[in-house]
Amino acid sequence: MTDNKRIIEIRDLHASAGDKAILKGINLSVNAGEVHAIMGPNGSGKSTLARALTGREGTDVTQGEVLYKGEDLLDLDPEIRARAGIFLAFQYPVEIPGISNSTLLREGLNAVRHHRGESELDAIDFLQIARSKADVLEMDHEMLSRAVNDGFSGGEKKRNEILQMLVLEPHLGILDETDSGLDIDALKVVAKGVNELRAPERSFIVITHYQRLLDYIIPDFVHVLADGRIARSGGKELALELEEKGYGWLEEAPAR
């Protein structure tokens, strides 16, 4: 595997929130085109990993390094990481009253395009893109003119995250428990959005507590996080094993 196919390489990553050490040495490499699922019990550090990768304030990396397309990631501001193609679908999408979804999307898309040296899109071209992506997710076009997540149901918010991901076309999509709170139909729609975006040059890190999502977004690799470390890695069948056994056995089994 050559380096230019490597999207992200996480080496011995330690991170803490406040005084509390949460990640205790994560090692993970994701190549272009791969989907990696990260599973694990509550409190194992799944969301902290997403925060560390996206540069959320309050999550301090205390040791280790992360290379994104061969370059140091951790020194970059959150918006630069985003423009460079890292997208996080939030576990709890934030409401921003008075700002329409389409304004957010256009600002974001133009920031990304600007970063890539592409010209900004005019309103008409943009709207065309946004509408076609909304169609993929079976979202009403009216959702584009509503204020960002304001008054959205839980399912609408999650769908809206995926809409943003489809519009921004990241190189690395991180889904943080996108399946939580979704019914099966919504889950299928969300998975459809992700699968739509799967491409040889694009990678995903799918964080989930349950195996259910992985029935629809088939991962290439599954990693089990326990107490801030990757306790086990395997193929998609590992998720099924977890579903069957739960996470309890992890604590007894020595880390591999």
Partner 1 sequence: MSSTPETRESPASRNPEIEKLAEREYEWGFVTDIEQEKIPPGLDESVIKLISAKKNEPEWMLEWRLKAYAQWQKMTEPTWALVNYPPIDYQDIVYYAAPKSDDDRPKSLDEVDPELLETYEKLGIPLQERAALAGVAVDAVFDSVSVATTFKDKLADLGIIFCSFSEAVQEHPELVKKYLGTVVPRNDNFFAALNSAVFSDGSFVYVPKGVRCPMELSTYFRINAADTGQFERTLIVAEEGSYVSYLEGCTAPMRDENQLHAAVVELVALDDAEIKYSTVQNWYPGDKNGVGGIYNFVTKRGACRGANSKISWTQVETGSAITWKYPSCVLQGDNSIGEFYSVALTNNYQQADTGTKMIHIGKNTRSTIISKGISAGHGQNTYRGAVKMLKGAEGARNYSQCDSLLMGDQCGAHTFPYIDVKNPTAHLEHEASTSKIGEDQIFYLNQRGIDTENAVNMIVNGFCKEVFRELPMEFAVEAQNLLSVSLEGAVG
DSSP for the chain reads: --GGGEEEEEEEEEEEETTEEEEEEEEEEEETT-EEEEE--TTSSHHHHHHHHHT-TTEEEEEEEEEETTEE-TTS-HHHHHHTTEEEE-SSPPPEEEEEHHHHHHHHHHHHHHHTTPPPPPHHHHHHHHHHHHHHTT--THHHHSEETTT--HHHHHHHHHHHHHHH--SEEEEESTTTT--HHHHHHHHHHHHHH--TT-EEEEEESSSGGGGTS--SEEEEEETTEEEEEE-THHHHHHHHH-SHHHHHSPP-
Nearer to partner 1, 105 or 205 (CB): 105
Indicate whether 16 belongs to the interface with partner 1 (CB under 8 A).
no
Judged by CB under 8 A, which of 15, 38, 49, 88 binds partner 1? 88
Indicate whether 93 belongs to the interface with partner 1 (CB under 8 A).
yes
Smallest separation (angstroms) from partner 1 to the CB of 163: 12
Which residue has 């069957």 as its token pair? 244
Judged by CB under 8 A, which of 26, 39, 87, 208 binds partner 1? 87
Smallest separation (angstroms) from partner 1 to the CB of 127: 17
Smallest separation (angstroms) from partner 1 to the CB of 44: 22
Indicate whether 146 belongs to the interface with partner 1 (CB under 8 A).
no
Judged by CB under 8 A, which of 2, 20, 57, 237 binds partner 1? 57
Nearer to partner 1, 113 or 192 (CB): 113
Judged by CB under 8 A, which of 107, 120, 135, 185 binds partner 1? 107
Indicate whether 138 belongs to the interface with partner 1 (CB under 8 A).
no
Nearer to partner 1, 105 or 242 (CB): 105
Nearer to partner 1, 18 or 98 (CB): 98
The span from the CA of 137 to the CA of 195, in Å, is 11
Q: Which residues of this protein are in contact with partner 1, per CB under 8 A?
A: 54-57, 77-79, 82-83, 87-88, 90, 93-94, 96-99, 103-105, 107-109, 111-112, 115, 147, 164, 168
